[in-house]
Amino acid sequence: MDFYSYVNSRSIGEYLRKIDYKFNPKEAAWLISQCNSISLKEKHVAWKQLMQEMPDFDLGERFDYLPGGSLHELIRRSIKHEEKCLKMFEEKEIGAVYRYRFYCFGDCSYSEDYEGVYASLAECWDELAKDMDSNIEVIDIKKQYISTNRMIEVRYSPNSRTVMEVYSDYKNDEDVEKIEVSFDEMWFDFPVPFEKGDILVPIHTPGPGDLWSENGLVVMESITPWEKELNERVNNIVWGDSSDMLVWGYFQDPDGRIYREGEVGYMNYEYYEGPFNGPRRLLIALSNFIKDKIGVEMLLSAYRKVIMDEVNDDVMLHSWYSENVLKMCGLEDVIERNNHRLVEAGLNPNIHFNKRYYDDFEYKWDNNPALVEKCYELAGNYHQPKEMLYVYGKHGCGKTTILQCLGNYAKQLSRPNLLYVTAENFVSEFIAAIRSRDAMAITKLRDKYRSLDFIIFEDIQFLCGKESSTEEFTHILNDLLTKGAQVVISSDRPLSELDIPEKLSVKISFATQMEMNY
């Protein structure tokens, strides 16, 4: 069995594979139990295969409720209990109701958090279907027994309704509670590839409790496998559990301030590869200080610079207050600085969603509510999986204006490294770099585009027939999509009518296509 594939952290899993780490049966069973990428059914299949291929394992005195402290017996009981709970969950029973909640990526809490009450699982799914959209990451449905207040809760993957986990407080025998927490009571010190001062990030786990945010990043100072004294105590005493599998280090508040903390679940951490923008730049300095590559004076200078930049660039001044209010406060420099950033990004600072620019534009605006709503969604989508958007419409329908509004609103909300550029300007830049016969000029041009977090590329039809420029843009687009950048493309015609090479057409074919109407 490929037990490395059950390690949640890609960095740790690849390292264990590289050093050819040999898992004992207890370690292998635990890895399967905590794997986030497999369904409940896949977990049971893997456990059964493990029992066929690996010998039993004595879990020790802490697991005295199992005959002989048997790992195989624990797996059998766990599978039996979870299968029984799932069967009871799906059965319609008098005195039991169903309730649901779901979580969308980037939200701070659940939506419809067990607010409705439904007589059957089918009715619950029917109601839930009305709320379904592509942003939902996880669905929890709870079966509540009214008279006894017992419950069974099932977690689903939203697209396929695949059962990922089942929880219960239903006690079908005296050992059920122990069985349910048995794998959480295990403790391990697997080898890790990390070094002191490395910048780590927790893997993304669906739900509002995860750490996928600014303060999830950590400049690591220590980790459980390095703590010999702790390891000896846990190995010699029966109280050690998964909550002792820690990573210690320096975390960061959204405003840039640093604090020291320890977090559980070191097997869920992997290398952070960027971006390092805004206050995150400070993590680079802190990492190099811990690794003895820079002195304390440089660390303090970097800290001061980053914090002052955040104060100087306070997004509240840009988005909470009008230009008139800023002028009355003597803060014209904030307006000027913000407008300069927008112009550098190819944006007109005066075009916003809350303004009308042409006599007939209000009609066009109101005639495209779905597109306007999509632009609002993408502008605030800076923490979520990116969705490519392809907007098309005839000349004069208002594409430029709405995409300028989109760019300005995105810059207002989150200040991404954004660029609005027409295909004509892109071709001109590329040709100028080629004609300069300067290899560095071409490299700088490519780096400029590949460093973007958000690109709005207008009039892609201008690339038709320009083979070299189209090939260059295809490579850039591929890099941007790979890194998870937001891509918005506009054209005067649908993609099916666009005469561009297949390589580029295939990449754009995954975009959401929306027509701009007069």
Domain span holding position 112:
88-173
Which one of 87, 121, 137 terminates a domain? 87
Same domain for 504 and 358: yes
Half-sphere exposure for 147 (CA within 13 Å, toward CB): 3
Residue 6 has pLDDT above 70, yes or no: yes
DSSP string, 328-365: HTT-HHHHHHHHHHHHHTT--TT--TT---STTHHHHH
Global confidence as pTM: 0.64
Question: For position 175, what pLDDT does the model report?
Answer: 62
Residue 209 lies in a domain: yes
For residue 348, which of 441, 357, 373 has the smallest C-alpha distance?
357
Rounded Cα–Cα distance for residues 388 and 499 (Å): 20
Is residue 100 within 8 Å of 93, Cβ to Cβ?
Answer: no
Residue 96 lies in a domain: yes
Sign of the dihedral defined by the CA atoms of residues 33, 36, 39, 42, in that order: negative
Mean pLDDT value across residues 431-444: 83
Residue 327 lies in a domain: no
Residue 304 lies in a domain: yes
Same domain for 489 and 431: yes
Per-residue pLDDT tens for 474-513? 989 988 887 888 999 999 999 999 988 888 988 898 889 9
Which one of 60, 87, 114 terminates a domain? 87
Same domain for 490 and 352: yes
3-state helix, strand, coil in the chain (%, to 5): 45, 15, 35
Question: For position 314, what pLDDT does the model report?
Answer: 60
Q: Which of 109-118, 168-177, 223-232, 457-466 reaches the highest mean pLDDT? A: 457-466
Helical (H) or strand (E) element with 400: helix 399-414
Helical (H) or strand (E) element with 54: none
For residue 333, count other CB atoms closer than 10 A to its CB: 10
Same domain for 212 and 117: no
Per-residue pLDDT tens for 299-332? 999 998 888 777 666 655 555 566 777 777 777 7
For residue 451, count other CB atoms closer than 10 A to its CB: 15
Same domain for 49 and 17: yes
| Tally of domains within the chain | 4
Backbone torsion region of residue 312, taken as left when φ is above 0, otherwise alpha when ψ lies between -120 and 50, otherwise beta: alpha
Same domain for 441 and 367: yes
Residue 318 lies in a domain: no
Residue 249 lies in a domain: yes
Mean pLDDT of the chain, nearest integer? 84
Same domain for 224 and 166: no
Return the beta strands (E) in 354-402 as ranges.
389-392
Residue 259 lies in a domain: yes
**Dihedrals phi, psi of 164, to nearest 5 degrees:** -100, -40
Same domain for 478 and 378: yes
Q: Angle CA(139)–CA(141)–CA(142) in degrees, nearest 5?
A: 150
Strand order in the sheet with 269-271: 258-264, 246-252, 218-223, 199-202, 269-271
Residue 320 lies in a domain: no
Rg (C-alpha) for the chain, rounded Å, is 27
Is residue 111 within 8 Å of 137, Cβ to Cβ?
Answer: no
Instruction: Calculate the CA 315 to chain-centre distance.
Output: 23
Question: For position 354, what pLDDT does the model report?
Answer: 66
Residue 360 has pLDDT above 90, yes or no: no
Same domain for 116 and 70: no
- Which residues is 250 bridged to in the sheet? 219, 260
Q: Report the residue count for the chain.
A: 518
Mean pLDDT value across residues 149-172: 83
The residue type of 73 is E
For residue 379, which of 345, 353, 349 has the smallest C-alpha distance?
353
Same domain for 150 and 128: yes
Same domain for 462 and 364: yes
Same domain for 492 and 360: yes
Rounded Cα–Cα distance for residues 340 and 300 (Å): 29
Rounded Cα–Cα distance for residues 84 and 152 (Å): 11
Question: For position 357, what pLDDT does the model report?
Answer: 46
Which one of 56, 87, 118 terminates a domain? 87
Mean pLDDT value across residues 347-367: 64
Is residue 485 within 8 Å of 277, Cβ to Cβ?
Answer: no
Rounded Cα–Cα distance for residues 518 and 516 (Å): 7
Rounded Cα–Cα distance for residues 393 and 459 (Å): 10
Mean pLDDT value across residues 391-395: 91
Is residue 367 within 8 Å of 333, Cβ to Cβ?
Answer: no
**Dihedrals phi, psi of 283, to nearest 5 degrees:** -65, -30
Mean pLDDT value across residues 56-61: 88
The answer for residues whose C-beta is within 8 angstroms of residue 205's C-beta and 6 or more apart is: 36, 212, 268
